[in-house]
Structure 1
Amino acid sequence: MSKLAIITLSTLGVLTLGATIYTNSHRSKAVNAASNATEQQTLTVYAAGPKPLSDQIIKGFEHQTGIKVKSFDGTTGKILSKVKAEQANPQADVLILASMAAGVDLQRNGQLLTYHDAKHAQQLNPAFQDKHQQLFSYSASAVGITYNKQQVKVAPTDWSDLTKPEFRNQVTIPDPQTSGSSLDFINTYQMQHGNRLLKALKQNGAEMGGANKEVLDAVVTGQKAAVFGGVDYMSIAAIKKGERIGFVYPKSGTLVNPRPAMILKSSRHQTAAKKFVDYLLSAKVQQQVEQNHLIAGTTTKLTNPLNNQPINTYRVNWQRANTALTDNLASFKQVFN
């Protein structure tokens, strides 16, 4: 993965007037100081959604702290592209990504701020805690198989089911270059099993689609019968709305992917950024996370929200996953070129 630029915010310059007009000079400095104070209380957050949750969190944070938040919502891929494009004039203070590997990459490059005293950080699930105290996984999502109930008569139970004849030319896969959850899944799956299944899927006509929403829409509308590696919270939200789809966590195992928040080291709004991280880990936001069908960072057990059954999850060393990412992404591209 390419190195990302450290994010900073530009500050307002101080206007000075001639000493011969003391009153106007004093007034100008006072107005400018007030402008600087306002600027220092504006926090810029780039978040990988879901947007309704992001909007809810930001509104609550602004109400509780009086700190204004300027936000950008997009996929992990779009956020990273935006950060890269802004290298000459960085804008963000806090990033919330849907890819733990992307967060670890920023960490390994020395771009993240250490926050030792984050409130409630010790209450995070041990699997989500970062010993460096830089990545704060306030939520997580898991991937599985999303399928169209009108087209699929027998629900799949494992990944390999999607290589059967009834799924020929009917499977879509989220693009790991736009979807952070797909990026981490494609990587960790190959760390566990290699790429044999990916080749079998390709031979059965599986195709790479767009980001998570695009591939979900393809199944909802019947263009495709199933998603390999669809995110759970989007599928569950669609099921709750009455869409004729199903969702399963494969019995052989799947990835539960932490969604880390992080403060960029060169942020000039570090106090406000720390308050935002504290707010993300608060009981109020953790409840909102669950209401949006994501896994709360403070959860004590990983269970299926639809039936409360345990999820068989991969055990992931994220430092090793970051090291393996380039090769495994290249392997995926060789199959789905």
Structure 2
Amino acid sequence: MNIYNPLHLCDIFKNTMNSGVKKMKKENLKLGFAFMLMAALSACGNNDASSNENQSNSGETIEKTVNVYMPSPAGLQTALEKGFEAAYPGVDMKVTSGTTGELLAKIEAEKTNPICDVLILASWSDGINSLSKLDLMEYTPVNGDKLATPFKHSSNKIWGTSASAVGVLYNTDKVKKEEIEKLDWTDFANKDKVNGTLKETGEAAISIPDPTKSGACKDFLAGYVSSKGESAWTDFNGWASAGLKNGGGNKPALAAVESGSVDILVAGVDYNAYADKKKDKPIDIYYPKGGTVVNARPAMIMNTATHKNAAKKVMDYLCSDGAQKLVADAFLLPGREDVSADSSRLGYSQIKQFENLNWDNMAANGTEIAKNFVDLLK
């Protein structure tokens, strides 16, 4: 073979190049497969990492679960849960229900392993106390500026997205509406006046929710003291002397009136009465002319929350048009001033409140006032 033949040299060059290209193709295929495998594994890893998260319209990552602790009414709990999940598809709201005391006890028990993301209480004073007792996150919800001024706190940590008030509840089968609704708070120390409200001659059975079990009643008594000072205790002693009994928690106290075993309930929660009145139960309510306490129900985000972005969305939702309508449907007072209460009840601006309410003092002294009051009734 004449290696110096130019034509032969071209053949050698072509064969060498073809061999190199084949080797390069094989190597490229190997590298390509390796890159594809790495990309697939990376995608799987990303899917695992984001399996507990959703993407909001704004691009913010929202966790797929949020744990919300809230008080009754149960119907409102269910409605808010469904409404939130419809507003934020793919996010599961897990609701834990209980009284304010039960929920706070649960938070304390879970201190080393926090579960709660959003906490809602039925007592504004307990919300104020939570500012120092719990680790809360500062957050201003969308539409938070539309809440009634007393339902907002300068800390931007607690927000009254709904409210209730206390009044006098009575059994309509046994008590005369035109007589009972003349009575102011001080009149419940006068046995003759109270007995005179009955449709049949006799002695009226009258009770009050246990303020150590009812946050609304506790705040009512603290508000009464805040407004009237030491003279409040003169009224309290007069109530006890006139036969006022401890009715237990809100539910049994209401049930006793509806069954007829109790004629009149002083300082009963209003939304329960309005709800049962609409069910044609023998119950009605009025607010004495001396005023009462409107109690905002504070919502807050735990700083220990493991689902903080979802928790923020819960706060936004609670202040939304839809959620506020659900609050009104449950016969509670909407937190927002631009949302009307149910037409069957008085709205926030229509309820006269005690003068000189100092919520910081009420929060600081409410528990002691409640205990001393219960001792009066023993």
TM-score by length of 2: 0.76
Match of 1:54 in 2: 77
- What is the CA-CA distance between 1:306 and the residue it aligns to? 3.6
Which structure features the higher share of helix residues? 2
Distance in 1 separating the partners of 2:42 and 2:371: 61
Considering only CA atoms, is the larger Rg found in Structure 1 or Structure 2? 2
Match of 2:186 in 1: 160
Q: Deviations over 1:270-324 (max 9, x none)?
A: 1111100100001111112112111111126998954679211125332222222
Distance in 2 separating the partners of 1:182 and 1:69: 30
Match of 1:134 in 2: 157
Matches within 5 A, 1:306-317: 306=345, 310-315=350-355, 316-317=357-358
Q: Deviations over 1:87-114 (max 9, x none)?
A: 2332211111110011111113352110
Distance in 2 separating the partners of 1:42 and 1:135: 22
Q: 1:155 to 1:301 in 2, by over 3 A?
A: farther
Q: Larger deviation: 58-67 or 106-115?
A: 106-115
Match of 2:324 in 1: 286
Unaligned 5+ segments in structure 2 are 1-37, 55-61, 196-202
Matches within 5 A, 1:1-337: 32-33=48-49, 36-37=52-53, 40-66=63-89, 67-109=91-133, 111-116=135-140, 118-153=141-176, 154-156=179-181, 157-165=183-191, 166-167=194-195, 170-193=205-228, 194-299=232-337, 305-306=344-345, 310-315=350-355, 316-337=357-378
- What is the CA-CA distance between 1:46 and the residue it aligns to? 0.8
One-letter amino acid of the counterpart of residue 262, structure 1: M
- What is the CA-CA distance between 1:334 and the residue it aligns to? 3.0
Distance in 1 separating the partners of 2:350 and 2:51: 52
- What is the CA-CA distance between 1:258 and the residue it aligns to? 0.4
Q: 1:34 to 1:301 in 2, by over 3 A?
A: closer
One-letter amino acid of the counterpart of residue 109, structure 1: K
Unaligned 5+ segments in structure 1 are 1-21
Is residue 317–residue 323 contact of structure 2 (8 Å, CA) maintained in 1?
yes
Q: Percent identity at matched positions?
A: 33
Distance in 2 separating the partners of 1:184 and 1:83: 21
Is residue 205–residue 262 contact of structure 2 (8 Å, CA) maintained in 1?
yes
One-letter amino acid of the counterpart of residue 94, structure 1: V
- What is the CA-CA distance between 1:164 and the residue it aligns to? 3.2
Is residue 52–residue 65 contact of structure 2 (8 Å, CA) maintained in 1?
no
Is residue 97–residue 180 contact of structure 1 (8 Å, CA) maintained in 2?
no
Aligned pairs, number = 315
TM-score by length of 1: 0.85
The CA RMSD over aligned residues, in Å, is: 2.7
Is residue 100–residue 257 contact of structure 1 (8 Å, CA) maintained in 2?
yes
- What is the CA-CA distance between 1:34 and the residue it aligns to? 5.2
- What is the CA-CA distance between 1:233 and the residue it aligns to? 0.6
Distance in 1 separating the partners of 2:344 and 2:238: 30
Distance in 2 separating the partners of 1:320 and 1:302: 30
Is residue 164–residue 333 contact of structure 2 (8 Å, CA) maintained in 1?
yes
Is residue 77–residue 177 contact of structure 1 (8 Å, CA) maintained in 2?
no
